[in-house]
Structure 1
Amino acid sequence: MTTAAPSRDAKAGPGAGTPGVPATSGRRIAGALLHDWAAVLSTGFLALVVLMAVCAPLITALTGHGPNDFDAAAIDTNLGGLPRGSLGGVSAEHLFGVEPQNGRDVFARIMYGARVSFLIAISATVLTTLLGVVFGMLAGFYGGWADQVISRVMDFLMAFPSLIFMIAILSSLPSGNRAVLLVVVISVFGWPYLARVVRGQTLTLVNREFVEAARASGASTGALVFKEILPNLRSSLIVMTTLAVPGYIGTEAGLSFLGVGVTPPTPSWGQMIASSVSWYAVDPMYFAIPGLFLFLTVLSLTVLGDRIRAVTDAGEAS
């Protein structure tokens, strides 16, 4: 059966369906961000880091220094393994210098560390979003016992001090594929926050006129969920997932810093910062470079997420 009237209403909503509120399209968001210097700078830096991560194998092949290659000539054993030269061994051969004692190229490890950080953060965001949308919509759409069970599970997980339990869980698990374990553990504690937002919006949308009209016209449950309700959650999901990525990058770095995240010799920004703690007084560059990349990446993602939220809120309020 056709649902012409509900479809017209749906196109007027926040993202796709609430009557009276203009849609916030991807083109509108992109156009607004192009006129925001902070968003442009953030996007430019993130594009550079992503390019470094994607092209890391090619770049290291050209420089001849892999992330785990030892360069004994780049360190001075007479000085306890400090890099030769100034600024931690920065030179044309080692753009960001080398690590003390082993001479591994910091530039190569920064690039490969970016691959690890983004892979874990994006994978955790995808899994968190999937779980949050599924359980949040189940609770909001069906209500009753389904809502009660899912809501209590969300309350239970949100009541935990998540970082402490992540450390405890990861410490007790075998090393295995640490990246996969990190994604799973982060997602387990992360999905309830998104699910609660999805549940609340679904509870509101399920009683709106355009959904009732679609239901009265004979639309199936799948049609109601995927054509009427889910499109209206798009704006909120874009904002929440954009803001989740920097949080998960920071979480991965923090867990690696504490020794329960990515295990050596796999490069990780948090692991590099942890290794640099005992050297920062004599080789501050070894601490500053991974710390600066971590800080600027999280800051850029956070700024970009805030700007997207501002554009989305303005679109829904207009």
Structure 2
Amino acid sequence: MSVVGTPLPDAEAQGLATSPAAPLTSGRRIVGALRRDRAAVAAAVFLGLLCLMALGAPLITALTGWGPYAFDSSAVDTGLGGVPRGSFGGIGSEHLFGVEPQNGRDILARIVHGARVSLLIALSCTLLTGVLGVVLGMLAGFYRGWVDQVISRLMDFLMAFPALIFMIAILSSLPAGNRPVLLVVVISGFGWPYLARVIRGQTMALASREFVEAAKASGARDRDLVFREILPNLRGPITVMATLAVPGNIGTEAGLSFLGVGITPPTPSWGQMIANSVSWYQVDPMYFVIPGAFLFLTVLSLTVLGDRLRHAIDEGEAAA
């Protein structure tokens, strides 16, 4: 029992200071690096608000009183060809983002419901692209031989196509029904080879590492080698590639809708709104600016977050 006033021994006085600090996991290092990056934080905050806005689209439209398909003829001047009444495209307390020319549909309602469509298609494309790219890339890199030759030639074949032109041609020839599903299938069909090529190279490198050779020598089956030894070491490249694929998929969907082969009216879509605004930008520039700004900020935020995530993963692997 210590006597009052008697100094404690150094080791006892230091306590926790002398014990080694628990090493940070790679996940914590990555999160910490992202939290210190102001651009990454700003991008994550915007994307979080956008997701909340998309999920709460029915509530938002219920609060404003205007749905994405409701016409407000009183908000447009029919004598001037349907130009919105008031300043800045009819922005006011009744319509916070203004209204569309001619029909008077509420732009805020179209934006929030269009966000649901864009994000759902982009995430679905990323998921399908990821599954196809990872599975086929790992098969090619692990088994090599004729399996690698078949998959690699298929990748080369698809990557040689001018993807946008063939997407337009394919979607133009298909019926308009279930257009979101068709968009996901077509965009993913041209997108998976880029991920598969990266995964193939990484798998080849990992398959020759000592820990895989040791597991193979101990009698591990191919399934165990792929899912227990190789796949966990591909989480970094898969995460980065998937994060960077989302903005590309959003831009592709918007571009196809802009060209008239994407989401069909009256379903709201940012690309469709931008396409419709082209003939009105001189008299109602806000009709172009608002959906264009949302599309630009969404793609920019996803690109910045994906780029910062790649740097954080690279730094985490170097520190490990």
Provide the TM-score with structure 1 as the length reference.
Answer: 0.92
Aligned-partner Cα distance in 2 for 1:26–1:109:
38
- Aligned-pair identity in percent equals 76
Moved more, 112-121 or 218-227: 218-227
Q: Which runs of 5+ in 1 are unaligned?
A: 1-21
Q: Is the 8 A contact 1:24 1:312 kept in 2?
A: no
Q: Does the residue aligned with 1:88 lie in a helix, a strand or coil?
A: helix
Structure with more contact order per residue of length (Cα contacts < 8 Å, sep ≥ 6): 1
Aligned-partner Cα distance in 1 for 2:94–2:206:
59
Q: Counterparts of 1:72-221 in structure 2 under 5 Å?
A: 72-221=73-222
1:219-248 CA-to-partner distances (Å, cap 9, x unmatched) read: 111111111000010000010000000000
**Deviation for aligned residue 1:27:** 2.5
Q: Does the residue aligned with 2:91 lie in a helix, a strand or coil?
A: coil
Alignment match, 1:60? 61
Q: Is the 8 A contact 2:206 2:230 kept in 1?
A: yes
**Deviation for aligned residue 1:284:** 0.3
Q: Size of the alignment, in residue pairs?
A: 297
Q: Does the residue aligned with 2:90 lie in a helix, a strand or coil?
A: coil
**Deviation for aligned residue 1:24:** 7.1
Aligned-partner Cα distance in 1 for 2:179–2:225:
39
Aligned-partner Cα distance in 2 for 1:273–1:63:
23
Q: Does the residue aligned with 2:92 lie in a helix, a strand or coil?
A: coil
The residue identity in structure 1 corresponding to 2:99 is V
Q: Does the residue aligned with 2:230 lie in a helix, a strand or coil?
A: helix
Q: Which runs of 5+ in 2 are unaligned?
A: 1-22
Rg bigger for which structure?
Answer: 2
Q: Counterparts of 1:272-311 in structure 2 under 5 Å?
A: 272-311=273-312
Q: Does the residue aligned with 2:122 lie in a helix, a strand or coil?
A: helix
Let me know the Cα RMSD of the aligned residues: 1.1
Aligned-partner Cα distance in 1 for 2:105–2:25:
47
Q: Counterparts of 1:241-252 in structure 2 under 5 Å?
A: 241-252=242-253
**Deviation for aligned residue 1:55:** 0.1
Aligned-partner Cα distance in 1 for 2:92–2:39:
31
**Deviation for aligned residue 1:315:** 1.8
Aligned-partner Cα distance in 2 for 1:205–1:42:
33
Provide the TM-score with structure 2 as the length reference.
Answer: 0.91
Aligned-partner Cα distance in 2 for 1:56–1:138:
41
Aligned-partner Cα distance in 2 for 1:67–1:26:
41
Q: Is the 8 A contact 1:24 1:235 kept in 2?
A: no
Q: Does the residue aligned with 1:96 lie in a helix, a strand or coil?
A: coil
Alignment match, 1:313? 314
Q: Is the 8 A contact 1:23 1:316 kept in 2?
A: no
